């Protein structure tokens, strides 16, 4: 009989933007639970992958078998419905990210666009799936996500007039005249404002590099003169910091148009299709649909597809506060919260236990596969009268329809659990 719960070994990714040595949450977790994986104090540890993605597949710790091979041979571990729909694979990839320098300004295509890009540009876009994502902060976490409210963009342009030289005076005047008109009486007015925002972003992203570089230098010199020691997290400080990482990059100007968001541990963001975003710094839990589809346009040495990015975005303007999510109680639980995005590929549970308060919690079987990660403390995973040691950094696969108990045995203990579950009509 196949085990329903077992420990897995993740894949570590050493990308250039990762935090160095044990400053990285990725390295901290790995070194605690998997001492056989050596940590280099000078190496960059960017991502921890938990799942079946071919670029970083997990294996069963006890036997060395690939997780993909196990669930392919035993489809009941992920449920027959999910096995049929996702061709014997997990629908999601679970990660930990540790970010030292900003990641690219990017967006992920919806399913229809992903199919088009894969069909027409298979050398650049490797699959035909969409890639919705969710990030939950483990440490103070910075990112940009979505376009700012139009009035905020106007204020930024007025405060940083160098951007007018980049987008052009005519584009700015058209933008200002439309957003100063507060009459929104029809869907046409909403669409008109989206179109003018698209025009601003298009003018910025397609501008000649020399013009970008010249005006960015003027901007940085002016900030350093007028505000030589900006407070961490202010727009001046963020601009200077990111420009030092990506000198002369058009993506620095994008930050005036996009929401800068600071997340506290436990706060999260859902990154829907066709919305611009970039992670800036910090450590987070991340979960996504199993896809590599990314359209980039700034803050990256990788391939940029500016034309596709400009055309795909929704140009929805919304405040930063309206994008932050904190989770909701899971089935009346006092120790577990649910982060539940409007997609079927994944949801995330966070359970916080302590021997001094709530020591354990029982969970009925979820009708789909789960991966459980311990991010702090020390506990147990109990199932079928078996007790598995769950120290910080340890990772477990939990089969579909398997009852488990999570337990804390040493200090405050936090479990993050990514899972997939089809709705009743699809089972």
Query: What pLDDT, on the 0 to 100 scale, is given for residue 1?
Result: 56
The whole-chain average pLDDT of the chain stands at 93
Binding residues for Zn(2+): 106, 108, 133, 277
User: Which residues are registered as beta bridge partners of 296?
Assistant: 106
CATH architecture, range 328-419: Sandwich (2.60)
Tell me, what's the pLDDT at 188?
74
Query: 314-341: per-residue pLDDT in tens?
Result: 999 988 888 899 999 999 898 999 999 9
Distance CA 373, CA 377 (A): 11
Superfamily of domain 143-325: Phosphomannose Isomerase, domain 2 (1.10.441.10)
Residues at the binding site are 106, 108, 133, 277
* Residue-level pLDDT at 178: 87
Render pLDDT for 168-193 as a digit per residue (tens, 0 to 9).
999 999 999 888 766 656 677 788 89
Give me the residue label for tokens 């690219």.
Answer: 104
The pair of three-digit structure tokens given for residue 307, joined into one six-digit string: 């034309």
Give the integer Cα–Cα distance in Å for 100 and 108: 22
Compute the distance between CA of residue 188 and CA of residue 101 in angstroms, rounded to an integer.
40
Question: What's the pLDDT score for residue 191?
Answer: 87
Low-confidence residues of the chain, pLDDT below 50? 424-427
Active-site choice (4, 148, 296, 417): 296
User: For this structure, is 296 an active site residue?
Assistant: yes
Give residue 181's pLDDT: 66
Q: What is the CA radius of gyration of the chain?
A: 23
- Residue 256 in contact with residue 163, Cβ under 8 Å? yes
Residue 182's pLDDT is: 60
> Quick one: pLDDT at residue 4?
96
* Every domain of the chain and the residues it spans: 143-325, 328-419
Burial 275-311 (b: 16+ CB within 10 A, else e): bbbbbbbbbbbbbbbbbebbbbbbbbeeebbeebbbe
Predicted confidence (pLDDT) per residue in 52-105, tens digit: 998 899 999 999 999 999 999 999 999 999 999 998 999 999 999 999 999 999
Distance in angstroms (rounded) separating the CA atoms of residues 48 and 45: 8
CA dist 174 and 158 (Å) reads 14
pLDDT value, residue 425:
36
The answer to whether the CB of 272 falls within 8 A of the CB of 132 is yes
Distance CA 228, CA 221 (A): 10
Handedness of CA 400, 70, 351, 141 (dihedral sign): negative
Residues of 365-397 as b/e, b for ≥16 C-beta within 10 angstroms? ebbbbbbbbbbbbbbbbbbeeeebebbbbbbbb
Please report the pLDDT score of residue 102 as a whole number: 96
Beta-ladder partners of 12: 48
> Rounded distance, CA 124 to CA 126, Å?
6
User: Whole-model pTM?
Assistant: 0.94
What residue has token string 């204020």? 155
Q: CB within 8 A of 113, min separation 6: which ones?
A: 273, 274, 312
């Amino acid at each position: 009989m196949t085990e329903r719960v077992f420990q897995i070994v993740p894949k570590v990714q050493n990308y250039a933007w990762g935090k160095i040595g044990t400053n990285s949450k990725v390295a901290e977790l790995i070194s605690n639970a998997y001492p056989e994986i050596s940590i280099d104090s000078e190496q960059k540890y960017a991502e921890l992958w938990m799942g079946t993605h071919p670029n970083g597949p997990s294996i069963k710790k006890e036997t060395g078998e690939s997780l993909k091979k196990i669930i392919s041979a035993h489809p009941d571990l992920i449920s027959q419905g999910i096995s049929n729909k996702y061709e014997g694979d997990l629908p999601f990839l679970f990660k930990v990210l540790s970010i030292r320098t900003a990641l690219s300004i990017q967006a992920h295509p919806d399913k229809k666009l992903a199919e088009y890009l894969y069909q027409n540009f298979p050398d650049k876009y490797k699959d035909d799936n969409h890639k919705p994502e969710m990030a939950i902060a483990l440490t103070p976490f910075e990112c940009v996500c979505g376009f700012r409210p139009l009035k905020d963009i106007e204020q930024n342009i007025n405060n940083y007039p160098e951007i007018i030289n980049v987008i052009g005076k005519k584009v700015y005047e058209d933008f200002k005249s439309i957003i100063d008109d507060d009459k929104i009486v029809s869907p046409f007015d909403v669409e008109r404002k989206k179109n003018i925002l698209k025009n601003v972003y298009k003018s910025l992203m397609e501008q000649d590099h020399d013009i970008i570089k010249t005006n960015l230098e003027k901007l940085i010199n002016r900030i350093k003169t007028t505000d030589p020691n900006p407070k961490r997290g202010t727009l001046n400080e963020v601009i200077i910091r990111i420009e030092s990482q990506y000198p002369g990059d058009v993506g620095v100007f994008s930050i005036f148009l996009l929401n800068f968001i600071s997340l506290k541990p436990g706060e999260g963001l859902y990154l829907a299709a066709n919305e611009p975003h970039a992670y800036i710094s910090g450590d987070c839990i991340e979960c996504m649909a199993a896809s590599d589809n990314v359209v980039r346009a700034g803050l990256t040495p990788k391939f940029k597809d500016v034309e596709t990015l400009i055309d795909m975005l929704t140009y929805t303007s919304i405040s930063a506060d309206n994008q932050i999510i904190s989770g909701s109680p899971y089935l009346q639980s006092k120790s577990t919260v649910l982060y539940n995005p409007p997609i079927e590929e994944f949801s995330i549970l966070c359970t916080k236990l302590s021997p001094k308060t709530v020591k354990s919690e029982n969970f009925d079987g979820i009708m789909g596969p789960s991966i459980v990660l311990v991010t702090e403390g020390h506990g147990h995973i109990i199932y079928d009268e078996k007790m598995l040691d769950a120290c910080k950094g340890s990772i477990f696969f939990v089969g579909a329809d398997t009852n488990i108990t999570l337990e804390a045995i040493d200090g405050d203990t936090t479990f993050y659990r990514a899972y997939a579950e089809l709705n009743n009509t699809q089972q």
